[in-house]
Structure 1
Amino acid sequence: MPVVLASAIALVLTACTADPPPPIESVETPVTTTTVPSKTGDPVVVAIDDVGIGFNPHLLADQSPATAAVSSLVLPSPFRPTRNPDTGATTWEPDLSLLISAEVTSQSPFTIRYQLRTEAQWSDSAPIAAEDFRYLWQQMITQPGVVDPAGYALISDVASSGGGKTVDVTLESPYPAWQRLFSDLVPSHLLKDSPGGFQGGLTDNVPVSGSRFNIKTVDQGRDEILLERNDRFWDQPASPDQVLVRRGGTPAQLADSLRSSDAQIAQVRGGSALRAQLSAIPGVRTDTIRQSRVLSMTVNGRAPNMSNAVVRQGIFGLLDPNLLATVGAGGGATDRRAAAQLLSPSDPGYTATSPAPIGRTAALDLLGRAGYVPTPDAMVTSTPSATAPTTAAPPTTADPSSAAVTTSPPVPSVTRLADATGTALRFVIGAVENDDIALAVAGTAADELIGAGVDATVTPLPADELYSTALTDGTVDAVVGWNSAGVDPATVLASRFGCVPEAVAGSGDRVEIPRNLSGLCVPELQPTIDRALASGLDPSTATDDVEPKLWALASTLPIMQDSSVVAAVPGITGVSLTGPVEVGIFADAVQWMRTPR
């Protein structure tokens, strides 16, 4: 088996780093034979909105319905989310195509042992092994802009034995949500030496598969992804030989596609009008489901103006979350509003905890208390000078989202707010370039603030810059971006609001990354956070004690949870219109089958 041996040797030789981990053993992967369903020649066609910005499910910037779908079909996971039909809650069940077993083998230290199937392999014949677990752990604790890494931060070691097929993960404390760790393993043997690495290696494609499908082609311009059955998959193969995920177009175009069965399934953003339009097509089933992402505004406490809680409270008081949610939802769907810090609207037990709006007058009073008062001829500092370094591309089209910095002049009847030196109150909102929803919401927020006298601007930036140096250097005062929905509340609390220990001078610690995006925390809550990670977060504690303190901190303004209208035509079987929020209707994609016309 020369191909397998070459991959195994390459895996060992390329594992050198400045601080190399213990070597990961490799083993030849036996070839197994499975019965593959015959090819039908007709792909299952799923209409979507777009293919998103990238395909790394562990990056905040890449959170999208398309990324959630692709990662669930292409990347291996020890546990998979399933939806309890009675409660709507997500439970995590072992994926026995990857695992022989997974269990806690010790409480002190807390240790999890994963026993992987010998035949589990990437589609290029490299084994799925302990090195993939170790790589994901290291990236989740060292890379900026990752999704809720608190569970990974508890890990102290990932050890390998049995040719890399036995993985022992040691944590510093018990972690009740351990089944969620290592979901969507990525191919370490490719990413660790690729030019883009973890941040950029999956931007345009997922080059290999460790599950039932692989990506054959991606056409970003046409918003189209062609998935095909992974014929190297060692377990029960998928029923459809191809799944074509493509842009559905306008409501009229989408309706025509379903009416003619040119598309058999749809998962698109829309409200009650779109659902009613699709429901009128004979035989078409429809529903509305929540997506696995929540849009929020996170203030950057490292920026000089935002270190004062009174200023942050005043800024949030000038914003209308319902308006921002409506803009983010594309109009009309105010039921998408997210109004709690720890739970998403799709979570069982969710209840709105946001305090009543304080109103514009009270918000301006708060800013006045902080020293920002209406000042004629205030000095503006938000727009960078001509020599200011920036990696954002200059505008090339009439699209406002393509501009490096967008700003509006003050309303003629509104005087800018400024401090005692005459410097206007700056509020630069960063968003990932090409994220149309985040940029639209950021622009509306800036409009509201400008109307109240704040020198507000919007700066689109590359994701790797926005979630690293733009935060740590104070280039942006806030970020409008996506968080993951359906995450364990204790993990959310620790990841987004935990106090990050200061690096010890001269300790050789890694370059600073914004582990907690806002850089803000409530020190008195840290013991509660530590206990919650080890034993879970009591709902009453979260509602009565934690949530009020987080709202008072004014570091994060939840805006809306994304949702989609889903539909299926009569000529497709195996399609459930409900599924766990993490993957939605794609949870049962391996069972989809087109019926003869």
Structure 2
Amino acid sequence: MGAFFGDGGRADARVSWRRRGVFLATPLLAVMLAACQANPGDAPTVEQVDSTAESAPPTAPPDKDDLQLHVGIGSFTGNLNPHLTGNVSATVMGIADLTLPSTHNLRDGAWEMNSDLLLSVTPNDPQTPIKVTYQLNTSAQWSDGTPVNVSDFRYLRQQIVQNPSTAEAASYELIKSIEPVSGGKIDVTFSQPFAGWQSLFRHLLPSHIYGAENQPFATMMDGNLAASAGAYAVTSIDEGRGRIELRRNDRFWGDTPAATDRLIFDRIPDLPTGMQMLRTGQIEMMVSEPSDISTIALESIPGVQYRAIERHVDLSFLLNTHSSTMAMADYRARIMQALNPDRIAQIATESTHTVRPANPPIEAAAVRGAATESTNEQTNDPARALGSLSGDGAVVIGAPSDDDRAVAAARVAADQLNSAGITTRVVTKDEAELFAKDIPEGTVDAVVSWQKTPESSTDYFNQFYCSPKQGGTSTEGADAERNSLIPLSGNITGYCSEELNLGLLDTIEGKTAFAAQQDKLNERIAQANVVVPLVRDTQVVATGPAIEGAAPALEQWAADPLSGVMVSAPDWKKLNLDESSESLEGDQ
């Protein structure tokens, strides 16, 4: 384990906390001195916002005893772009919360203005505005000293609508203009009333760096995060070792600067390894997938607190109607009828206790034995379907290669389809390539991936809306409706329906209350036979005695629907446990 985690001093459980502190502080001090000697050039030029940025003075560093915390994580990816479809792991979303600024944050189910970034936000209508004015905090800046400004808003909008692998294209397509106004204000105008306006401009990116580099959006944050405007900044990503390191951002101007100098995330291969590292103090926290014995195992370790957190993220089996085969309703129904999703979920999670998510009830009608959709927009022709299979005559299921649970689920689904006489194979791909190329081009017929649980009108809008094709369509007959609509990035299934579109627009424009429309939306999606939710993501968080949060009890720590307890990381502190740790280590 010492070689895997690259820290021989931490691998030896017998090393005392005093000696370990000396071992770690020496190279850290060298890094800090080197940083002090650096002589960076002028900040890059950015678009003028008609205001003067006020440089935030560096905040006081934490005490020497609070230098670093180690967190074990169950899954790892080096691509930290939170705007990519499927890239919604707790680590990715947590690091985004800690490094990238947002106009609003979701707290206890309600959107709150981020008072660190904004002084005020003024919609012309609180519910469904056409225009929103944001006034930036003039102290808001990136870690290289560049002010956060209108260019960052424009850059994010541009990249999301132009790239095929982004998750929220439908929402950002509604933005008509983003303009700077005197006094540090930004006016955002929509093409129509928009109920989901508070969900926009989350995790802004440093446009002065990424825009200038002109790298592909899907891969530009793979192994790299160029600058921070949060409490922490990413300093290194080592995919080979499964390690991500964050350092306290001394330029952060907000109310809650980081209480710890460094956060180090290490991939833990299994629960027994994580438990032993908690016992010996090699890690102060562990965030992992649950198992049948997680609770029994963790409650046996003295001084360890644990809790389960259900994230609002689902692992789903989705059919890709960009594929000519899956564009046919009859064939989609045949595929779904051959699946046993309960068995897939249990094998993927290695737990017989796994219960598939029941809400929202968008599970394919064919899976639950209900009547399937009318086929007014697609041709029913079994012979055509059988003759249009992808590749070498097989149904092709795609899964991200770095996601063990998604790959396991895809393989079990393929086994079930093969057993039903439907030749099927699985391909594992880099996630960026899978969503940017294979799905839009229809080279995979299905995909197993994590997606945000659709819970609001905006979620449904981003995952199922299709844009009307400009200039209409000359297609006649059964395929006319489908060919008149274009699925946007974020709509993984590619499924389009005029009826569904109208329902989505009614809720997003505020014409119909979402609660009144949701059942109809759920039923229409289920009738389409395009998605089966398999697993609602649940995480087990365990903390050792050497870490302290904003509250004494772990159950009282703040938790975000996507990033879990990672959102509370600026409050985490390392306790001085010299005496008790030596005693504990001596008992091992």
TM-score class normalised by the smaller sequence: 0.7 to 0.9
Q: How does 1:398-547 map to 2 (within 5 A)?
A: 426-485=394-453, 488-504=455-471, 514=489, 516-535=491-510, 537-543=513-519, 545-547=520-522
Equivalent residue number for residue 391 of structure 1: none
Would the alpha carbon gap of residues 318 and 26 (structure 1) be closer, same or farther in structure 2, given more than 3 Å must change?
farther
CA contact (8 A) 2:166 2:489 kept: no
| Preserved CA contact (<8 Å) 2:74 2:289 | yes
- Map Cα deviations across residues 398-430 of structure 1 (whole Å, 9 max, x no partner): xxxxxxxxxxxxxxxxxxxxxxxxxx6x31112
1:303 pairs with 2:278:
no
Partner SS for 2:143: coil
In the superposition, relative to structure 1, how do residues 456 and 339 fare at CA in structure 2: closer, same or farther (>3 Å)?
farther
Corresponding position: 1:581 with 2:549: no
**Counterpart residue identity of residue 437, structure 1:** R
1:223 is matched with which residue? 242
SS in 2 for 1:192: helix
* In structure 2, distance between residues paired with 1:503 and 1:468: 23
| Structure 2 CA distance for partners of 1:431 and 1:504, relative to 1, 3 Å | farther
Which moves more between the two structures, 287-296 or 226-235?
287-296
Write the letter of the residue equivalent to 1:100. L
Residue 273 of structure 1: how far off its partner (Å): 0.7
Is residue 2:144 matched to residue 1:127? no
Change (3 A) 1:333 1:155: farther
Paired with 1:380 and 1:301, the residues of 2 have a C-alpha distance of 13
Structure 1 245/33 Cα, relative in aligned 2: closer, same or farther at 3 Å? Answer: closer
Q: Which amino acid aligns with 1:204?
A: G
Residue 199 of structure 1, aligned match among 218, 226, 240: 218
Match of 1:241 in 2: 261
Question: Could you tell me which of 520, 532, 536 is aligned with 1:557?
Answer: 532
Structure 1 residues 473, 569: closer, same or farther in 2, change over 3 A? closer
- 1:546-584 CA distance string (max 9 Å, x none): 212211111222221221111122332216445121221
Preserved CA contact (<8 Å) 1:432 1:481: yes
Task: Report if aligned partners of 2:129, 2:194 keep a CA contact under 8 Å in 1.
Answer: no
Distance of 1:261 and 1:530 partners within structure 2: 53
Distance in 1 of aligned mates of 2:347 and 2:513: 33
Change (3 A) 1:141 1:266: same
Question: 1:109 and 1:334 mapped to 2: Cα distance?
Answer: 42
Q: 1:308 to 1:184 in 2, by over 3 A?
A: same
Give a deviation string over 1:98-117, Cα, whole Å, max 9, x none.
Answer: 11111213689711111111
Structure 1 residues without counterparts, runs of 5 or longer: 13-22, 84-89, 344-350, 363-368, 385-423
Cα distance in 2 for residues equivalent to 1:109 and 1:82: 21
Assess if the C-alpha contact under 8 Å between 1:261 and 1:569 holds in 2.
yes
Maintained 8 Å contact 1:40/1:241: no
Tell me if 1:78 matches 2:78.
no
Aligned equivalent of 1:44, options 62, 66, 69: 69
Q: CA deviation at 1:259?
A: 1.8
Question: What is the alpha-carbon distance in structure 2 between the residues aligned to residue 233 and residue 120 of structure 1?
Answer: 8
- Cα contact 1:4–1:126 (8 A) shared by 2: no
User: Is there any run of 5+ residues in structure 2 with no aligned partner, and where?
Assistant: 1-38, 373-379, 474-485, 578-588
Q: Is the 8 A contact 2:77 2:402 kept in 1?
A: no
Residue 42 of structure 1: CA displacement? 3.9
Q: What is the aligned counterpart of 1:568 among 543, 547, 551?
A: 543
Q: CA, structure 1 residues 483+589, in 2 after alignment: closer, same or farther (shift >3 Å)?
A: same
Q: Equivalents in 2 of 1:25, 1:144: separation in Å?
A: 34
Aligned partners of 2:466 and 2:488 also within 8 Å: no
User: Structure 1 residues 358, 567: closer, same or farther in 2, change over 3 A?
Assistant: closer
Matched to 1:338, the amino acid is P
Change (3 A) 1:373 1:238: closer
Contact 1:299 1:312 in 2 (8 A): yes
Query: Residue by residue, what CA displacement relative to the aligned partner does 1:521-566 show, whole Å, maximum 9, x if unpaired?
Result: 23123222111112275334312x2212211111222221221111
Pair 1:354–1:465, CA change in 2 (3 A): closer
- Cα distance 1:97–1:27, how it changes in 2: closer, same or farther (>3 A)? same
Q: Quick check: 2:104–2:202 contact (8 Å CA) kept in 1?
A: yes
Counterpart secondary structure, 1:332: coil
2:382 equivalent in structure 1: 371
Deviation at 1:72, TM superposition (A): 0.8
Asked whether the equivalents of residues 8 and 28 of structure 1 are also in contact (C-alpha less than 8 Å), the reply is: no
CA deviation string 1:367-392 (max 9, x = no partner): xx853699xxx9896545xxxxxxxx
1:209-231 Cα distance to aligned partner (Å, 9 max, x none): 10110112222122111211101
Q: 1:81 to 1:161 in 2, by over 3 A?
A: same
Structure 2 matches for 1:308-387, cutoff 5 A?
A: 308-335=328-355, 337-340=356-359, 343=360, 357=367, 370-371=381-382, 382-383=390-391
Once superposed, what is the RMSD of the aligned Cα atoms?
Answer: 3.0
Output one character per residue of 1:410-467: Cα deviation in whole Å (capped at 9) or x when no partner. Answer: xxxxxxxxxxxxxx6x311122333332222111111111111112111223334322
